[in-house]
């Protein structure tokens, strides 16, 4: 039996996306929320707060995430999410963006395992929340993780997710499966594999290479092809017959949820465009679709372009 978690995507996988996704596609066991950052303030931002409110996540199983290099901040967020009823908090040691990493957070913290050790010692002594970790192989160098795993081995973590790239790569280049394999021999924690699963075929290849891994996390692949997790679970790369109707209903529900939240068409169109940069991968019959969405200045034009993209694909794929 395999487990699939939805990987956090700041700016994408907020509660509106998660709820619409869960309603129309499923296949996801748990969702990790995009990270909370408190940055010295003893305050959770309103957008973060809203994103993890149980009332906004009632149809899904959610795990909040934080990014920090400070045990006090960690404990503050842990207490806050515990008060909301959460029993697990995921710690981000993977964020690659220089603004974050250069300040010693996310993948930037991978270069100082001694700090990770100090933070975990204090956090796990002072809270009983379950801590899980999501990390890259390192920031500068993929060998950094081999210094971090022995530290993590000393703590009772819920699990560790590894995205086998280094921070400096951002999302470029290949995932380093050789180092990932080496990591498996260096830890007794439950490991989630994360990175570049974009089709049932690419999942099967990964599963064949790492048969001991039963836990998987998918991020971008799930936006580009929302049917992917359910197809992986069914071990069957066949889409439902009414694939485009389902997508259409999902899009309408998702769009409406943002329409209620944002004022004015401009904001709404700006919100939807980055999603279409992923969605469009499911619509090869509309090579100019993305450009048309970018050019849409009004909601009625946007709606018509989306209708055409979905209709084109449905018609052409049923021929």
Ligand X SMILES: Cc1cc2nc3c(=O)[nH]c(=O)nc-3n(C[C@H](O)[C@H](O)[C@H](O)COP(=O)(O)O)c2cc1C
Site for ligand X, rule CB under 6 A: 7-11, 34-35, 65, 92, 94, 134, 163, 194-197, 218-221
DSSP-assigned letters across all residues of the chain: --EEEEPP-TTTSSHHHHHHHHHHT---SEEEPPPB--TT-S---HHHHHHH-GGGGTTS-EE-EE--S-HHHHHHHHHHHHHTT--EEEEEE----HHHHTTT-GGGGGG-HHHHHHHHHHHHHH--SEEEEEEEEESS-TTTHHHHHHHHTTS--S-EEEEEEEGGGTT-S---HHHHHHHHTT--S-EEEES---SHHHHHHHHHH-TT--EEEESHHHHH-TTHHHHHHHT--PPPTTHHHHHHHHHHHHHHHHHHHS-SHHHHHHHHHHHHHHHGGG-TT-TTHHHHHHH--SHHHHHHHHHHHHHHHHHHHT-
CB of 32 to ligand X, least distance (A): 7
Compare residues 228 and 305 and give the one whose CB is closer to ligand X. Answer: 228
Compare residues 25 and 244 and give the one whose CB is closer to ligand X. Answer: 25
Compare residues 163 and 207 and give the one whose CB is closer to ligand X. Answer: 163
CB of 274 to ligand X, least distance (A): 8
CB of 109 to ligand X, least distance (A): 13
Compare residues 88 and 248 and give the one whose CB is closer to ligand X. Answer: 88
* Closest CB to ligand X: residue number: 219
Compare residues 181 and 304 and give the one whose CB is closer to ligand X. Answer: 181
Compare residues 39 and 304 and give the one whose CB is closer to ligand X. Answer: 39
Q: Of 211, 210, 229, nearest to 219 (Cα)?
A: 229
CB of 312 to ligand X, least distance (A): 27
Compare residues 220 and 271 and give the one whose CB is closer to ligand X. Answer: 220
Q: Of 61, 90, 69, nearest to 78 (Cα)?
A: 90
CB 150 within 8 A of CB 105: no
CB of 214 to ligand X, least distance (A): 17
CB of 297 to ligand X, least distance (A): 25
47 class by beta-carbon count within 10 Å (0-12 exposed, 13-18 middle, 19+ buried): exposed
CB of 193 to ligand X, least distance (A): 10
Compare residues 57 and 65 and give the one whose CB is closer to ligand X. Answer: 65
CB of 302 to ligand X, least distance (A): 22
């Amino acid at each position: 039996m395999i487990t699939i978690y939805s990987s956090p995507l700041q700016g994408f996988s907020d509660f509106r996306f998660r709820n619409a996704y869960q309603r129309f596609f499923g296949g996801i066991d748990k969702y990790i929320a995009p990270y909370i950052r408190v940055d010295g303030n003893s305050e959770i931002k309103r957008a973060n707060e809203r994103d993890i409110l149980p009332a906004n996540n009632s149809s899904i199983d959610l795990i909040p995430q934080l990014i920090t290099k400070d045990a006090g901040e960690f404990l503050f967020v842990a207490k806050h999410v515990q008060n909301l009823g959460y029993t697990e908090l995921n710690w981000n040691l993977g964020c690659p963006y220089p603004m974050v990493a250069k300040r010693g957070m996310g993948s930037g913290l991978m270069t100082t395992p001694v700090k990770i050790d100090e933070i975990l010692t204090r956090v796990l002594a002072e809270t009983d929340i379950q801590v899980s970790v999501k990390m890259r192989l390192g920031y500068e160098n993929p060998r950094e993780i081999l210094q971090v795993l022995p530290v993590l081995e000393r703590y009772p973590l819920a699990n560790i997710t590894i995205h086998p790239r280094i921070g400096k790569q951002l999302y470029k280049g290949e995932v380093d499966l050789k180092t990932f394999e080496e990591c498996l021999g260096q830890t007794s924690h439950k490991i989630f594999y994360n990175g570049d699963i974009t089709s049932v075929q690419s999942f099967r290849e990964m599963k064949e290479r790492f048969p001991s891994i039963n836990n998987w996390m998918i991020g971008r692949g799930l936006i580009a092809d929302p049917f992917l997790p359910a197809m992986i679970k069914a071990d069957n790369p066949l889409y439902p017959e009414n694939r485009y109707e389902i997508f259409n209903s999902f899009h309408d529900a998702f769009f409406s949820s943002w329409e209620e939240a944002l004022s004015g068409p401009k904001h709404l169109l700006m919100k939807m465009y980055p999603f279409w940069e992923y969605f469009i991968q499911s619509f090869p019959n509309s090579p100019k679709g993305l450009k048309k969405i970018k050019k849409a200045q009004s909601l009625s034009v946007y709606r018509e372009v989306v209708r055409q993209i979905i209709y084109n694909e449905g018609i052409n794929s049923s021929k």
